[in-house]
Chain A
Amino acid sequence: MNTGAGTSISLEIDERCAGDFFVLLQGGFSIASHIGCDVMEFLTGQCGIEKELISKIISAVFLDGKPVDDLESAQLHDGANLALSGPLPGLVGAVMKRGSAYSSFRRSISYKGEDAVARGEGMVTVKLFNTLTRELGPRFLARGVLIPPRTLADFLAKGRDAIAGGCRAISLDGSSVSYRHLVKRLLSMNGLVSLAVKPKTSLG
Chain B
Amino acid sequence: MDKILRINMSAPGSPRFTDEPLGEYAGLGGRGLTSMIIAREVPPQCHPLGEENKLVIAPGLLSGTAAAMSGRLSVGCKSPLTGGIKEANSGGQPSQVLARLGYAAIVLEGRPSGDDLYKVYINKDGVKIEKASGLKMLTNYKVVDQMKKEHGDSIACISIGPAGEMKMTAASIACTDMELHPSRHAGRGGVGAVMGSKGIKVIVLDDSGLKNREPKDADKFRDANKRFADGLKKHPVTGQALPSFGTNVLANIINEAGAYPTNNFSLGQFAGVSKISGETEADLEVKRGGVATHGCHRGCVIRCSGIYFDKKGKYLTKQPEYETVWAHGANCGIDDLDSIAMLDFLDDDFGLDTIEMGATIGVAMEAGLAKFGDAKAAIGLIKEVGKGTHLGRILGNGAAFTARAFGVERAPVVKGQAMPAYDPRAVQGIGVTYATSTMGADHTAGYAIATNVLKVGGFVDPLKPEGQIDLSRNLQIATAAIDATGMCLFIAFAVLDQPETFQALLDLLNSFYGLSLTADDVTALGKKILTAEREFNLKAGLTKEHDRLPFYFMKEKLPPHNVVFQVSDKELDEVFNW
Asked whether A and B interact, the reply is yes
Interface residues in B279-304 (C-beta closer than 8 Å to A) = 279-280, 283, 287, 304
Q: Give, as a whole number of angstroms, the nearest-CB distance from A65 to chain B.
A: 5
Q: Known: A26-B280, A102-B471, A133-B279. Is A87-B257 also a contact (CB below 8 A)?
A: no
Q: Known: A26-B274, A27-B274, A131-B244. Is A83-B256 also a contact (CB below 8 A)?
A: yes
Bitwise, A78-120 to B at CB < 8 A (1) or not (0) is 0000010111111111111000111111111100000000000
| B281 to chain A: closest residue by CB | A23
Q: Known: A65-B560, A88-B253, A109-B563. Is A104-B467 also a contact (CB below 8 A)?
A: yes
CA–CA, A83 and B277, complex, Å: 15
Asked if B452 contacts A93 (CB within 8 A), the reply is: no
Asked if B462 contacts A62 (CB within 8 A), the reply is: no
CA–CA, A66 and B561, complex, Å: 9
CA–CA, A45 and B575, complex, Å: 46
Asked if A108 contacts B449 (CB within 8 A), the reply is: no
Q: Give, as a whole number of angstroms, the nearest-CB distance from B271 to chain A.
A: 10
Q: Known: A86-B236, A104-B463, A109-B259. Is A95-B427 also a contact (CB below 8 A)?
A: yes
| Complex contacts, B249 vs chain A, CB 8 Å | 88-89, 129-130
Chain A CB within 8 A of B270 CB: no
* Cβ-defined partner of B278 (8 Å) among A83, A100, A130: A130
In this complex, which of A62, A107, A130 has the most chain B Cβ atoms within 10 angstroms of its Cβ? A130
Q: Give, as a whole number of angstroms, the nearest-CB distance from A63 to chain B.
A: 10
In this complex, which of B240, B269, B427 has the most chain A Cβ atoms within 10 angstroms of its Cβ? B427
| B422 to chain A: closest residue by CB | A92
Q: Known: A101-B462, A130-B241. Is A91-B283 also a contact (CB below 8 A)?
A: no
Asked if A26 contacts B253 (CB within 8 A), the reply is: no
Asked if B244 contacts A90 (CB within 8 A), the reply is: no
Asked if A92 contacts B427 (CB within 8 A), the reply is: yes
Chain A binding surface SS class = mixed
| Complex contacts, B467 vs chain A, CB 8 Å | 104
Chain B CB within 8 A of A13 CB: no
Asked if A89 contacts B242 (CB within 8 A), the reply is: yes
Chain B CB within 8 A of A67 CB: yes
Chain B CB within 8 A of A177 CB: no
| Complex contacts, B422 vs chain A, CB 8 Å | 92
Chain A CB within 8 A of B425 CB: yes
| Complex contacts, A94 vs chain B, CB 8 Å | 449, 493, 496
CA–CA, A67 and B422, complex, Å: 15
CA–CA, A120 and B488, complex, Å: 50
* Cβ-defined partner of B426 (8 Å) among A20, A89, A108: A108
CA–CA, A100 and B277, complex, Å: 23
CA–CA, A100 and B259, complex, Å: 17
Asked if B240 contacts A131 (CB within 8 A), the reply is: yes
| Complex contacts, A20 vs chain B, CB 8 Å | 283
Q: Give, as a whole number of angstroms, the nearest-CB distance from A61 to chain B.
A: 10
Q: Give, as a whole number of angstroms, the nearest-CB distance from B313 to chain A.
A: 13
| Complex contacts, B245 vs chain A, CB 8 Å | 130
Q: Give, as a whole number of angstroms, the nearest-CB distance from B557 to chain A.
A: 11
Chain B CB within 8 A of A53 CB: no
Bitwise, A136-165 to B at CB < 8 A (1) or not (0) is 000000000000000000000000001000
Asked if B449 contacts A65 (CB within 8 A), the reply is: no
Interface residues in B562-578 (C-beta closer than 8 Å to A) = 563, 566
| Complex contacts, A106 vs chain B, CB 8 Å | 257, 259, 426-429
* Cβ-defined partner of B258 (8 Å) among A65, A103, A133: A65
Q: Known: A87-B237, A89-B247. Is A62-B428 also a contact (CB below 8 A)?
A: no
Asked if A85 contacts B560 (CB within 8 A), the reply is: no
| Complex contacts, A93 vs chain B, CB 8 Å | 237, 250, 253
Q: Give, as a whole number of angstroms, the nearest-CB distance from B498 to chain A.
A: 13
| Complex contacts, A105 vs chain B, CB 8 Å | 427-430, 468, 471
Chain A CB within 8 A of B508 CB: no
| Complex contacts, B428 vs chain A, CB 8 Å | 105-108
Asked if B462 contacts A100 (CB within 8 A), the reply is: yes
Asked if A91 contacts B279 (CB within 8 A), the reply is: no
| Complex contacts, A195 vs chain B, CB 8 Å | none
Chain B CB within 8 A of A179 CB: no
| A57 to chain B: closest residue by CB | B236
| Complex contacts, B274 vs chain A, CB 8 Å | 23, 26-27
Q: Give, as a whole number of angstroms, the nearest-CB distance from B127 to chain A.
A: 39
Chain A CB within 8 A of B322 CB: yes
Chain B CB within 8 A of A127 CB: yes
Interface residues in B226-261 (C-beta closer than 8 Å to A) = 236-238, 240-242, 244-245, 247, 249-250, 252-254, 256-259
| B286 to chain A: closest residue by CB | A19
Chain B CB within 8 A of A22 CB: yes
Asked if A104 contacts B465 (CB within 8 A), the reply is: yes
CA–CA, A174 and B563, complex, Å: 49
| Complex contacts, A124 vs chain B, CB 8 Å | none
CA–CA, A20 and B245, complex, Å: 14
| Complex contacts, A26 vs chain B, CB 8 Å | 252, 274, 277, 279-280
| Complex contacts, B429 vs chain A, CB 8 Å | 95, 102, 104-106
Q: Give, as a whole number of angstroms, the nearest-CB distance from B485 to chain A.
A: 18
| A130 to chain B: closest residue by CB | B249
| Complex contacts, B242 vs chain A, CB 8 Å | 89
Chain B CB within 8 A of A31 CB: no
Chain A CB within 8 A of B475 CB: yes
Asked if A108 contacts B250 (CB within 8 A), the reply is: no
CA–CA, A103 and B452, complex, Å: 14
Chain B CB within 8 A of A60 CB: yes
Chain A CB within 8 A of B447 CB: yes
Interface residues in B329-375 (C-beta closer than 8 Å to A) = none
Chain A CB within 8 A of B490 CB: yes
**9 A-B interface contacts by CB (under 8 A):** A26-B279, A62-B257, A65-B256, A89-B493, A91-B447, A94-B493, A96-B257, A101-B462, A109-B257
Q: Please give 14 more A-B residue pairs, beta carbons under 8 A apart, in addition to A86-B241, A105-B427.
A: A22-B283, A23-B279, A83-B252, A85-B256, A87-B240, A89-B250, A93-B253, A94-B449, A102-B462, A104-B462, A105-B429, A107-B468, A129-B256, A131-B240
Q: What are the nearest 6 A-B pairs in CB distance?
A: A105-B429, A104-B467, A87-B236, A87-B241, A27-B274, A87-B237
